[in-house]
Amino acid sequence: MNLVVRAVCVYMALLVIFRIAGKRALVTVTTFDFLLLLIISECTQQALLGQDSSITGAIILVGTLVSLELGLSWLKCRSTRFERWLDGTPLVIIEDGRILRERLAWLSVDEEDILEAAHVQHGLLRLAQIRYALVERNGEIAIIPWKEGR
Amino acid sequence: MVEIKRTDDLETSEDLAFERTSMRVRRVGRALLFLFVLLAALGLFGDGPLSHARAGDASGLFVRYERFTRVDGTTRFEIHPRVQSSAAPRRLFLSASLFEHGHIEHFVPEPSSLEMTADRSVITLPRVEAGGLIVLVLRPVRPGRLRFSLGEEGSPALDLSLFVYP
């Protein structure tokens, strides 16, 4: 199969699979996640290259993948709808100190994940010290604590 | 450009209606992904119970093979020849369509000769005892349906059909 077609198919398949997996799927890379990423890259490498190990083939593939990325970025700039479907939107999970449990379930996030982000980002000790928490588009949890004195 | 909303002091581009729809789509997508993996495990895209096929009957020539395979993978045909009284070498016929869709990786036992005509090839194998097995390993190179016939001198040809995934 043509290398460009291979690259487009693999790129699209990965895009759909990782979008289905959710924005938090690989946001915290544990040792096992790292191994999983290596295995995934090894699997896709075979599908991309087939029997072709030429320099020209590699340049065609890299060129196609970068072009796809640029093309999607261009489309995202022109269509909010497209951008949302590709990247999602941030989602507030703690609002004014109130945990929005339904939304935690949507994203498979639990209080422990929020507390961990609070420890790392602000050195907070308790959930009660958090005013807002959001799951950003890249899947990371952003913590906004109450102002000092509360 | 994504619309920025303000809730108290917090400005975000949150879109709750979109996230709700996105979550439903994700759930359907995950169910489809699990179904895909299950079907793959069962053999819809290659080796597995759904893929096992057999052509012919035990009284004559019969072949066991996988009806689903993939481009650049290898697929194995187990050819059980009919019982033969003489010690003459076996002559197998393969239709030319097989060679248009794939490369033969190897034959066991090694053929002693191979003759190609416009529509088929004739493979001569050394003597294979009754109950013996002939193995043909094929590497498909084109996706789509692959139909070909395989026969043995003195037996009706068998029509085999495979689907080759890209």
pLDDT in tens, B20-62: 898 899 899 999 999 999 999 999 998 899 999 999 887 788 8
In B, minimum Cα distance to A52 occurs at B72
Q: Which of B97, B102, B83 is nearest to B164 (CA)?
A: B102
CATH number of A108's domain: 3.30.240.20
Q: Is B160 inside any structural domain? A: yes
Residue B105 sits in the same domain as residue B69? yes
The residue to which tokens 């010290």 are assigned: A129
Residues 6+ away with beta carbon under 8 Å from A88: A23, A137, B18, B19, B22
Q: How many domains does chain B have?
A: 2
CB within 8 Å: B19 and A50:
no
Residue A79 sits in the same domain as residue A105:
no
What is the structure's pLDDT at A150?
Answer: 54
**pLDDT tens-digit map of A39-87:** 999 989 888 887 788 899 899 999 999 999 999 999 999 998 888 888 8
Mark whether A31 and A83 lie in a shared domain: yes
Q: Which of B8, B22, B166 faces A88 most closely, judged by CB atoms?
A: B22
> For chain A, how many structural domains are there in total?
2
| Other beta carbons within 10 Å of B75 | 23
Q: Which domain holds residue B25?
A: 5-42
Q: A150 in a domain, yes or no? A: no
The pair of structure tokens assigned to A136 is 């950003």
Share of chain B above pLDDT 90, in %: 34
Indicate the residue of A20, A106, A132 with minimum beta-carbon distance to B33.
A20
Q: What is the 3-state secondary structure (H, E, C) of B27-92?
A: HHHHHHHHHHHHHHHHCCCCCCCCCEEEEECCCCCEEEEECEEECCCCEEEEEECCCCCCCCCEEE
Element (DSSP H or E) covering residue A58: helix A55-78
Is the complex ipTM more than 0.85? Answer: no
Nearest by CB: A106 against B2, B19, B29: B19
Residues B90 and B126 in one domain: yes
Q: B38 and B67: one domain? A: no
A85, B22: Cβ pair inside 8 Å?
A: yes
Residues A80 and A100 reside in one and the same domain: no
Q: Is the same domain home to A98 and A73? A: no
What residues form DSSP beta bridges with A95?
A98
Range of the domain at A65: 3-87
Same domain, A115 and A75: no
Handedness of CA B85, B89, B95, B100 (dihedral sign): positive
Does residue B47 sit within a domain? no
CB atoms A91 and B14 under 8 Å: yes
Judge: B22–A96 Cβ closer than 8 Å, yes or no: no
